Structure 1
């Protein structure tokens, strides 16, 4: 069985992280920002699993990746609840228009 070189995993993860960062910075609404953050977390997961694959006696990388997935799911749940509350109050999901916490 031929292993894919570690550099290929790292290049894909770096590209995915950069795409996620660009999305999180440039998007004008909360859902787009949330999607960018999720892409960055997936890039971290690729790195963790790739490094874990090259050390088969220790599964800590895969366990950390599983932990990141659980935290990402909880983060999405809480973020979507906050977004729905903000939309119900301000009638917009544009972060620039939500500039004050009290009216």
Structure 2
């Protein structure tokens, strides 16, 4: 068997995977493209092992290690993508990049990450400061309605 056939196939697989990494916006498709690139490398390792007629079969051994590492990588990668999807609501790479560049919420005026609601509610009463309002016990809506009707 000529070395050119598996080498050309490996180059084509690698190029398709590289295109997928560069062109896709979905993080899962990017991970699949990386796996395609790793499989192209595995094909090259096995092809050169057969072509060199190595008695130790080091190409096949390296391929087994690469497959094990790729399985761990895809498992961890999918777990990260799932966690990001649950937290952010999207797995689009561009949206995640925008979120990383601008992590502040536009509604968060006080910078504490809660959307600015807590301190704004404390300042609703005239003449009160946030420190005074935080020392007051919080009452539920039902108890406020009961006080209003009494």
Q: Deviations over 1:22-79 (max 9, x none)?
A: 0111001101100110000000000000011122412100000000000000000000
Tell me the equivalent position of 2:58: 60
Structure having the higher Rg: 2
Tell me the equivalent position of 1:70: 68
1:43 maps onto 2:40 in alignment: yes
For these two proteins, the number of residue pairs brought into alignment is 100
TM-score scaled by structure 2?
0.64
Runs of 4 or more off by more than 3 Å in structure 1?
none
Structure 1: runs of 5 or more not aligned: none
Tell me the equivalent position of 1:18: 15
Structure 2: runs of 5 or more not aligned: 105-150
Cα distance in 2, alignment partners of residues 94 and 56 from structure 1: 44
> Of the two structures, which has the highest relative contact order with CA contacts closer than 8 Å and spacing of 6 or more?
1
TM-score scaled by structure 1?
0.92
Tell me the equivalent position of 1:6: 3
Cα distance in 2, alignment partners of residues 93 and 22 from structure 1: 19
1:27-38 correspondence runs (5 A): 27-38=24-35
